[in-house]
């Protein structure tokens, strides 16, 4: 009995050691990308600034440390975003042994889908939403004669918050699929909630974008489309599960 107990304790220690090693691997990846981003800071910053400059804004910094703080903030944001696949991969690898083969495939495919949707949301924000939203803000200021000089720190905070917000809300299909798999959200319930989701999408778009109708529509419509796509995917998965259950019962 004592021997078995020590063996179980050793297994738990091994799991804890593996968890620590994977956390260290994620931390090393983040630090490495952060350092690389700092060396390319000017190129990355100019790329983000070009969105505002094309709209007509001129950038200034209001405190001596602003330029340095912006460099650190942008580099850290890029490091976290760029290493998201590594973090997800390490998490999946850690929990992988406790699942059977079918579950492993499902977890890995879900992780890949979540990563792709996150990056797609960020790309959509940078290349579609932000240019239109910032142009709207510039025109709003010009109409009342406000100077177009903007603090670089505030501009970067706006860009980062909108981009990350779009990345997060783009995970809607993953949330719906997981709730459906868990039996919490049925297909019929999802269909009944279509109007509610449309209203919520408009509210979310109003929160994460400036008071520009076009920008809000550009955010709300993709969210509604993602939700509708979630219903289709969940319906297909449900049919497959029913077929598998029937075939298993016949055997």
Query: Taking 80 as the threshold, does the pLDDT of residue 94 lie above it?
Result: no
Q: Where are the domains of the chain?
A: 1-167, 171-251
Convert the pLDDT of each residue in 4-27 to its tens digit: 444 444 477 777 888 888 899 999
| Rounded alpha-carbon distances, angstroms, from residue 215 to 164, 210, 211, 251 | 16, 7, 8, 55
Average pLDDT, the chain: 81
Task: Look at residue 93 in the predicted model and tell me its pLDDT.
Answer: 75
Convert the pLDDT of each residue in 29-83 to its tens digit: 999 999 998 888 788 888 888 888 888 888 888 888 888 888 888 888 889 888 8
- Determine the Cα–Cα distance for residues 153 and 234; give it in Å rounded to an integer: 42
pTM tops 0.85, yes or no: no
Average pLDDT over residues 164-179: 85
39: left (phi over 0), alpha (psi -120 to 50) or beta: alpha
């Amino acid at each position: 009995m004592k021997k078995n107990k020590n063996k179980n304790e050793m297994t738990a220690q091994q799991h804890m050691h593996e968890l620590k090693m994977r956390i260290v691997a994620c931390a090393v990846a983040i630090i490495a990308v952060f350092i690389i981003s700092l060396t390319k800071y000017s190129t990355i910053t100019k790329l983000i600034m070009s969105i505002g400059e094309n709209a007509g804004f001129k950038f200034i910094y209001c405190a001596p440390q602003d330029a340095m703080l912006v460099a650190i903030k942008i580099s850290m944001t890029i490091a976290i975003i760029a290493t998201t696949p590594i973090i997800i991969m390490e998490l999946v690898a850690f929990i992988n042994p406790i699942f059977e083969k079918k579950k492993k495939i499902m977890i890995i495919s879900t992780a890949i889908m979540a990563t792709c949707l996150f990056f797609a949301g960020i790309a959509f924000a940078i290349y579609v939403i932000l240019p239109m939203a910032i142009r709207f803000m510039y025109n709003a200021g010009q109409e009342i004669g406000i100077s177009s000089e903007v603090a670089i720190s505030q501009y970067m905070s706006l860009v980062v918050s909108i981009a990350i917000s779009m990345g997060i809300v783009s995970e809607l299909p993953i949330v719906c699929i997981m709730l459906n798999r868990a039996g919490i959200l049925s297909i019929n319930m999802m269909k009944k909630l279509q109007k509610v989701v449309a209203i919520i999408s408009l509210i979310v778009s109003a929160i994460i974008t400036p008071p520009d109708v076009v920008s809000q529509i550009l955010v709300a419509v993709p969210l509604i489309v993602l939700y509708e796509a979630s219903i289709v995917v969940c319906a297909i998965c449900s049919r497959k599960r029913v077929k598998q259950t029937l075939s298993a019962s016949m055997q």
